[in-house]
Amino acid sequence: MDYRDRHVVVTGGTGALGSAVVGELIRLGATCHIPVLHEKELERFPYRDHAQAVIARDGNLADEAAVARLYAGVPRLWASIHIAGGFAAAPVAETAKAALMQQIDMNFVTCFLCCAAAVNAMTKAGAGGRIVNVAARPALEWRSGAGMAAYTASKAAVAALTVALAEEVAKHGILVNAIAPSIMDTPVNRQAMPKADHAAWPKVEEVAASIVFLASPDNKVTRGGVVPVYGRS
């Protein structure tokens, strides 16, 4: 895959999965544009000083104006990868409206606004492009979302958006897909679930590889997919 001279937005690019995606894109020649909301996000980000990593501050992706500024600063956008989001677990009866709206804002609204901005930039350039969203296993397997219904609903919305948008923009040469990871093998998840079978969890580098392919010019036909990336879990 050749990403030379291609500009890619990666939301959530400083996290575990995002860092793996950014690292692979940089290796393949891309220039990555990474929005950050808090400076603390950069403390452990290994590419913060890399010439091919453009840090965009003012990264409130639930704010339409901030998203517009982010995409206005990207020349010749090729791909937009939407990893930013958050997780919260609670029974429905214990989930207040504020907690529900927080999950919707973090997971769905950020994705929707970035999709819209990316489509506008790509159609204006007229050269097509790629969009990759990040759903989750409960977005496909609703019963597995028991105890985290707000999160599940927000990620199911991401999956539905992906498929609908893929149909909407295919005529412009924009291919839209999503991945749906199970629990990934990260230090935070290992700490939270010390007795789980960590070897069965997909590694962030493996999930990143799926994202990078879907966002690449080598992906010429796949669109409207919500791809399970479960590993052996």
- Burial status of residue 44 (CB atoms within 10 A of its CB: 0-12, 13-18, 19 or more): exposed
What six digits make up the tokens of 185? 């093998």
Where does residue 196 fall: left (phi above 0), alpha (psi -120 to 50 degrees), or beta otherwise?
A: beta
The residues facing 35 across adjacent strands are 56
CA distance 3 to 22: 12
* 3 is a catalytic site residue: no
Gap between the Cα atoms of 190 and 77, Å rounded: 36
Asked if 62 and 37 count as a contact pair (C-beta separation under 8 A), the reply is no
Q: How far apart are CA 192 and CA 88, in angstroms?
A: 13
DSSP E strand stretches across the chain = 7-11, 31-35, 53-56, 77-82, 129-134, 174-181, 226-229
Q: Which of 3, 47, 71, 151 is catalytic?
A: 151
Q: How many CB atoms lie under 10 A from the CB of residue 178?
A: 29
Gap between the Cα atoms of 131 and 114, Å rounded: 9
Cα–Cα distance measured from residue 54 to residue 230, given in angstroms and rounded to the nearest whole number = 31
What positions carry a catalytic annotation? 151
